[in-house]
Amino acid sequence: MRRFFALAVLLLVAFVARRSEAHGMRTATVQVVPIDAEVVEVTIRAAVAVHGLTVSLDGCTSDESDVARFRCPGGFAGHRLEVHGLGPIASEAIVSLASRPDHDGDTPTTHLLQPGNPSWVLPASHESAWAVAHQYVGLGVRHIATGADHLLFLLGLVLC
């Protein structure tokens, strides 16, 4: 009986797998590097070519070069960084804020942006490792729970 059940599940997985496709890496990385107290460099990188993905930083001026440099009077903390153009090709962006040159002991911090929430207020101090871990574990659980291919894989692991 157990073999019959395992065979039925295997056939179901094979049938569903033919109709589903794995998704590629759709995450863009936005690197924010403080140059001094009022200037940050922002670079966008992605595993696939992404056109139309831009970054704005409210209250700051940009020099519009290949690598955007934003000048933020009074410092960049508290300014809202927004990624424009998130959608089907780049469905999310990880913003990585590097440590500031004038703050010893700072560690880089990251934040995930998605089309429904494409902006982040740059913090005055870096988030704790626990806060970042909590955010990414939650995202991982939601990612697995919303993907049929992931759920079928876990079902296959449980049955073996």
Q: Is the pLDDT of residue 127 over 60?
A: yes
Q: What is the pTM of this model?
A: 0.62
At residue 67, the pLDDT reads 72
- Which helix (H) or strand (E) segment holds residue 27: the answer is strand 27-34
What does the CA dihedral 14, 16, 17, 22 come to, rounded to 10 degrees? -160
Cβ neighbors of 118 (< 8 A, separation 6 or more) are 82, 83, 84, 86, 93
pLDDT digits (tens, 9 = 90+) for 99-123: 766 555 566 788 888 888 899 888 8
Per residue in 39-93, pLDDT tens? 888 888 887 777 788 888 888 888 765 578 899 888 888 899 999 988 877 888 8
Among positive and negative, which fits the CA dihedral 30, 33, 34, 35?
negative
Could you give the CA distance from residue 123 to residue 115 in angstroms, rounded to a whole number? 21
110, 131 Cβ separation under 8 angstroms: no
Contact 105, 74 (CB under 8 A): no
